[in-house]
Amino acid sequence: MNIVITGASSGLGLHTAQALARHGHRVIAGARSFTEEREDLGFFCATLDVTDQASIEHFHQKAIAYAGQIDAVVHCAGILMLGSCEETTPEEYLHIMDTDFLGMVRVNQAFLPDMRAQHAGRIVMFSSINGLLGIPFQSAYTAAKHAVEGYAECLQMETKPFGISICLVEPGDHRSGSEAYRHHTSGMKADSPYRHAFTLGTRVIRYDENHGSDPDRLGEKVAKLLERRRMPFRVRIASADQHLAVVLHDILPPSLNNRILSSYYLKPGKKNR
């Protein structure tokens, strides 16, 4: 299978690209940090900025020239921004949406005509547990992932007649990523009225990421999803407590659910030390 993957230079994107290559697929990997074409990582790498239409068009041409036909696109490009809702600027929200949501839209629009023409194709979009529920100080990322969830449902219905399958992968916390892709909003300063709660909440977020699941196992699961005769539309890859958090979010009254999440993220405990 010829597979395009975005955001493949680090984090879950890199682990997924490596897993796909181990499974014998021809992988065309894109990332902004791939400043030159190379194959020494076990797959073909080329520059791709999902916020730049010209970069996407150039990458699309390179992928077609390299592989001839693209059978699947896997979306892993994304960045995280931490900050309070009040102090996150509209420009910062736009920046996250541009990368984490509109980047997927642009890349899909580049490859969908090819998939329609061959009446076959698979698209895997990395959402998140945050696409299903919100947590403090991740509103920009959460909003982008909620957008991905809704967009994917529309895309599935529209492209099914053309033989195209859509899969939403919803990862929980995994041990991966780079601090280069985790920004703080410009308003999150030392004198912010939210500073104390922000410090508590982000310590928990960092603890959960550092003690999260194995990213190699996630990559293997994505490879196996793509190899199935029929991909499921939605797959949550998370720990048991994160699965439970989603279930409780759906069945509990909002006030009770908010108390539980606030207690977990915003009260001092061992994860805050």
- What is the SS3 assignment for the chain? CEEEEECCCCHHHHHHHHHHHHCCCEEEEEECCCCCCECCCCCEEEECCCCCHHHHHHHHHHHHHHHCCCCEEEECCCCEEEECCCCCCHHHHHHHHHHHCHHHHHHHHHHHHHHHHHCCEEEEEECCHHHCCCCCCEHHHHHHHHHHHHHHHHHHHHHHHHCEEEEEEEECCECCCCHHHEEECCCCCCCCCCHHHHHHHHHHHHHHHHCCECHHHHHHHHHHHHHCCCCCCEEEECCHHHHHHHHHHHHCCHHHHHHHHHHHHHCCCHHHC
Between residues 211 and 52, which one has the greater pLDDT?
52
- Would you state the structure tokens that stand for residue 106, as one six-digit string? 């642009």
Distance CA 177, CA 9 (A): 10
pLDDT tens digit string along 200-221?
999 999 888 888 888 999 999 9
pLDDT for the residue 179: 55
Between residues 179 and 265, which one has the greater pLDDT?
265
pLDDT for the residue 175: 82
Interval 131-148 mean pLDDT: 96
pLDDT at 49 over 60: yes
- What residue has token string 């041409």? 61
pLDDT for the residue 268: 77
Interval 55-63 mean pLDDT: 97
Mean pLDDT taken over the chain: 92
Whether residue 154 is contained in a domain is answered as: yes
**Would you say the pTM of this structure is higher than 0.85?**
yes
pLDDT tens digit string along 77-107?
999 999 999 999 999 999 999 999 999 999 9
Q: Give percent of the chain with pLDDT exceeding 70.
A: 96
Say which range, 4-18, 59-73, 255-269, has the weakest mean pLDDT. Answer: 255-269
Q: Give percent of the chain with pLDDT exceeding 90.
A: 81
Whether residue 246 is contained in a domain is answered as: no
pLDDT at 127 over 80: yes
Q: Of 123, 31, 135, 124, which is closest to residue 80 (Cα–Cα)?
A: 135
Distance CA 149, CA 140 (A): 15
CATH number of the structural domain spanning residue 6: 3.40.50.720
pLDDT for the residue 177: 59
The domain of 39 spans 2-190+213-240
Whether residue 132 is contained in a domain is answered as: yes
pLDDT for the residue 188: 83
pLDDT at 157 over 80: yes
Whether residue 27 is contained in a domain is answered as: yes
pLDDT tens digit string along 171-197?
988 887 555 556 788 888 889 999 999
pLDDT at 55 over 80: yes
pLDDT at 148 over 60: yes
Distance CA 2, CA 236 (A): 24
Q: Kindly list the distances between the CA atom of residue 184 and the CA atoms of 49, 84, 138, 140, 155, in Å, as whole numbers in the listed order.
A: 21, 10, 10, 11, 32
pLDDT at 42 over 60: yes
Interval 264-268 mean pLDDT: 87
Distance CA 34, CA 267 (A): 41
Whether residue 272 is contained in a domain is answered as: no
- Would you state the structure tokens that stand for residue 60, as one six-digit string? 């699309």
pLDDT for the residue 32: 93
Domains held by the chain: number: 1
Q: Which residues are catalytic?
A: 9, 127, 141, 145
Whether residue 74 is contained in a domain is answered as: yes
